[in-house]
């Protein structure tokens, strides 16, 4: 078997925010349908506290998770924050019910969303503020001008984008430095391969959401095959593949259980071999629309 492939454990966002590449996504510490409070509030608090104990120092959230619940729980569990903790949040989606996510990137709405995030997180400045979605009903330039203004005012340190194309990233670069892109991406969903490559070329973090695409039976079989060699689950292998695949990928797997958090974190210690990577790279990408 080939020697284990190695990778850097950390990444520096925007040239000054050094984080461990295994982060935490705080979407699922909310209620069912990412709506309302969690069923087990104390467990959610324990999950957040455990992230720090494990050495995780990058937490990704959004004002729309709950809505507001995720940000409130982060502050309740972790404030005052450790100096090296980077909390990234997002604005641009509204909520009208469980699993419903209308887009609104109008500057007036984003202003209220940002003010709310700052208050809930008990921060004077957001380290990484991400546009959750490009709004087809709002001129993109208007949204970009808003993000440029709030950065100039010192309300946000760095700016990222989500679910964007290379052309949309390039357009945003005319207004501010884009330091991260958060697109759906996994070993079996590689629709955004060009965007990943562009981010690597431009020294931007690439933050994949939905790191294992449910329903791809062929992918599960190969992930399990590799997992057997490492005494790991298919999910852990899928996370490990992302860390090995590109040095600018930051992981934000989410969960509402301490046990699952610890299982996800163990994926960072898996060292996939060249043979493993060849097997996983051969998984057919399922490019589902959306």
Residue 65 is among the residues annotated as catalytic for this protein = yes
Predicted structure pTM score: 0.95
Distance CA 27, CA 12 (A): 23
What is the pLDDT, as a whole number, of residue 6? 78
Residues in CB range of 53: below 8 A, 6 or more apart: none
Taking the alpha carbons at both ends of the chain, their separation in whole angstroms is 39
Residue 26 has pLDDT above 60, yes or no: yes
Distance CA 176, CA 179 (A): 9
Task: Domain count for the chain, please give it.
Answer: 1
* CATH code at position 166: 3.20.20.100
Q: Which residues of 158-174 are buried (b: 16+ CB within 10 A; e: fewer)?
A: bbbbbbbbeebbebbee
Q: Please tell me the number of Cα atoms within 13 Å of 290 on its side-chain side.
A: 6
Q: How confident is the model at residue 101 (pLDDT cuts 50, 70, 90)?
A: very high
Counting residues of the chain whose pLDDT is more than 90, the rounded percentage is 91
Q: Which residues of 39-74 are buried (b: 16+ CB within 10 A; e: fewer)?
A: eeeeebbbbbebbbebebbbbbbbbbbbbbbbbbbb
List C-alpha distances in Å: 22 to 18, 54, 141, 154, 163.
12, 10, 33, 28, 21
Minimal CA–CA distance to 86: which of 157, 3, 141?
157
Mean pLDDT of 221-238: 95
Full domain range(s) for residue 52 = 16-214+249-258
In a domain, 10, yes or no: no
Mean pLDDT of 240-251: 97
> Residue 147 has which token pair?
């993000």
Q: Which among 11, 65, 175, 265 is annotated as catalytic?
A: 65
In a domain, 4, yes or no: no
């Amino acid at each position: 078997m080939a020697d284990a492939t190695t990778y850097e454990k950390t990444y520096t966002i925007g040239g000054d925010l050094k984080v461990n590449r295994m982060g935490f996504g705080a979407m699922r510490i909310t209620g069912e349908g990412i709506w309302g409070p969690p069923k087990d509030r104390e467990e959610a608090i324990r999950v957040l506290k455990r992230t720090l104990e494990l050495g995780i120092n990058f937490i990704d959230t959004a004002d729309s998770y709950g809505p507001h619940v995720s940000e409130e729980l982060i502050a309740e569990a972790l404030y005052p924050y450790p100096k090296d903790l980077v909390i990234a949040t997002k604005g641009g989606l509204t909520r009208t019910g469980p699993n419903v996510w209308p887009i609104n990137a109008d500057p007036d709405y984003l202003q209220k969303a940002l003010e709310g995030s700052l208050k809930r997180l008990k921060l004077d400045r957001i380290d990484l503020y991400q546009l959750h979605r490009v709004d087809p009903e709002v001129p993109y330039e208007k949204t970009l001008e808003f993000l440029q203004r709030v950065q100039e005012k010192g309300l946000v340190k760095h700016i990222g984008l989500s679910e964007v194309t290379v052309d949309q990233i390039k357009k945003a670069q005319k207004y501010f430095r884009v330091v991260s892109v958060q697109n759906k991406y996994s070993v079996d969903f590689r629709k955004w391969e060009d965007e990943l490559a562009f981010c690597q070329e431009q020294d931007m973090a690439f933050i994949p959401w939905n790191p294992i695409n449910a329903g791809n039976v062929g992918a599960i079989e190969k992930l399990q095959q590799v997992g057997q060699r490492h005494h790991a689950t298919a999910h852990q292998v899928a996370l490990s593949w992302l860390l090995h695949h590109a040095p600018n990928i930051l992981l934000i797997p989410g969960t509402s259980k301490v046990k699952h958090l610890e299982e996800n974190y163990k994926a960072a210690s898996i060292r996939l071999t060249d043979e493993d990577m060849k097997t996983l790279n051969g998984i057919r990408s399922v490019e589902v629309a959306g």
